[in-house]
Amino acid sequence: MGHDRRGERQAALRRRLDGLGLDALLVTHPPNIRYLTGFTGSAGLLLLSADRTALVTDFRYAEQAPEETRGAAEVLVESRSLWERLRKLLAGAPRLRFGFEREHLTVRDAERLSGLEHAEPVPSAELVEALRSVKDAAEVAAIAGAAELAHAALAELLPSLKVGETEREIAARLEAGLRKRGSEWHPFPTIVASGPRSALPHARAGARPVGRGEWLLLDFGAQLDGYCADLTRTVVLGAPADTRQRQVYAIVRAAQGKALTELRPGMTGKEGDALARDVIAAAGFADAFGHSLGHGLGLEVHEAPRLAVTAEEPLPAGAVVTVEPGIYLEGWGGVRIEDDIHLTPEGPRCLTDGRTELLEIH
């Protein structure tokens, strides 16, 4: 992925810890461990202090961990308990006041933390996530690459769609197309929702056959170099759209278009959300847009920052966010249009294709 920025990321985190009066940070959330070290395994405890970056993992990753970290961390392979190895690691050093990731700690691990001698654990909030919210050029390129292969899979799928196919059959073809083009995995369960079910924002693909002239909502993602793209297109299958479908679609498209054009770093997440929400509300559908406008994208499909009525924090320059307004009407159906945006100092740059015209496939 180009220039190796793991050392810079660790240095930035150390500066943050120093400012908070912390000697170290215990990182337990796998995407955060990956961001700082390159390690992609499912079992790991990362202790980052002023002079040490120690990754404790188990025997399954004895070869993988050194290969992936490539010197970005000291790898300690433990055959029994990772937490016991951490305890020994702490026992051999001066007493540490270290932060831990309170959002990602289980009750069981909290008990293990409280049993550590030679340490003072301090709950800490999203220290690594704050760094992750600003993307470097290689991260943006990976998200754009994931978006490109997602669009290619969609372009292959759309002409093949037929009335009477089930949502699950359509999802299977779409997911196969993603994998065939190099998607490492699906960042979330693919949503294929037809007819009235398209009014369910997080509908899972089911056994329902798609009827003629119905909405077909496709919300799916791709993953490249660990980074996620997230895309939604809503089409009409088997017949031209009727007047109401055209009207509702046009409102959602106008709302998304305003946000895609006017989003800027420095706006609060609430202000960004309002760009689209105000358009939908002015058209009389305020109650039909019940979710937030968007979320950050990166190593996770939902990460900081957020575009939401409750988000008072400013959007940082360099963030990548989704813009996905929708209108959902029970018993009739729903429309959502989603693209992925890089918030540059010069303004928003679309990483997806931004082609949001209404598609009628028949």
How far does Cα 241 stand from its chain's mean position? 32
| Alpha-carbon distances of 130 from 21, 55, 154, 197, rounded to whole Å | 18, 21, 32, 36
Whole-number Å distance between alpha carbons of 79 and 190: 37
Q: What is the mean pLDDT of residues 251-259?
A: 98
Cis peptide before 189 (omega within 30 of 0): no
46-50, 67-71, 97-101, 111-115, range with the lowest pLDDT:
111-115
Q: What is the pLDDT of residue 117?
A: 81
What whole-number percentage of the chain has pLDDT above 70? 99
pLDDT digits (tens, 9 = 90+) for 19-35: 999 999 999 999 999 99
| Whether the predicted pLDDT of 2 surpasses 80 | no
What number does CATH give the domain 6-132?
3.40.350.10
pLDDT digits (tens, 9 = 90+) for 223-254: 999 999 999 999 999 999 999 999 999 999 99
> What integer best gives the mean pLDDT of the chain?
96
Of the pLDDT bands very low, low, confident and very high (cuts 50, 70, 90), residue 91 is confident
| Superfamily for domain range 137-361 | Creatinase/methionine aminopeptidase superfamily (3.90.230.10)
Angle, CA 330 vertex, CA 194 and CA 294 arms, to 5°: 75
DSSP 8-state assignment for residue 166: B
Each as own residue / partner, the long-range contacts of residues 102-109 (CB below 8 Å, 24 or more positions apart, any chain) are 103/29, 104/28, 104/29, 105/28, 109/28, 109/83
Pairing of strands 294-296, 227-237: unpaired
Considering 94-98, 105-109, 317-321, the range whose residues carry the highest mean pLDDT is 317-321
Pairing of strands 24-27, 45-49: antiparallel
Name residue, tokens 């704050």: 130
10 Å CB burial of residue 76 (0-12, 13-18, 19+) is: middle
| Alpha-carbon distances of 123 from 26, 100, 133, 155, 302, rounded to whole Å | 10, 5, 20, 46, 22
| Whether the predicted pLDDT of 1 surpasses 50 | no
Task: Quickly list H helices, 195-324.
Answer: 243-262, 269-282
| Whether the predicted pLDDT of 114 surpasses 90 | no
Which residues share a beta bridge with 56? 45, 76
CB 53 within 8 A of CB 75: no
| Whether the predicted pLDDT of 80 surpasses 90 | no
| Whether the predicted pLDDT of 46 surpasses 70 | yes
| Widest pairwise Cα distance in the chain | 72
Whole-number Å distance between alpha carbons of 178 and 260: 25
Please report, as a single letter, which amino acid is at residue 73. Answer: A
Task: Quickly list H helices, the chain.
Answer: 6-19, 30-37, 64-69, 82-91, 107-114, 127-132, 137-157, 167-180, 243-262, 269-282
What whole-number percentage of the chain has pLDDT above 90? 91
Angle, CA 18 vertex, CA 16 and CA 20 arms, to 5°: 75
The secondary structure of the chain in percent helix, strand, coil, rounded to multiples of 5, reads 40, 25, 35
Helix (H, G, I), strand (E, B) or coil at 110: helix
| Helices and strands, number each (H, E), in the chain | 10, 17
pLDDT digits (tens, 9 = 90+) for 304-331: 999 999 999 999 999 999 999 999 999 9
b/e per residue 20-47 (b: at least 16 CB within 10 A): eebbbbbbbbbbbbbbbbbbbbeebbbb
Residue ranges covered by each domain of the chain? 6-132, 137-361
111-120, 155-164, 246-255, 312-321, range with the lowest pLDDT:
111-120
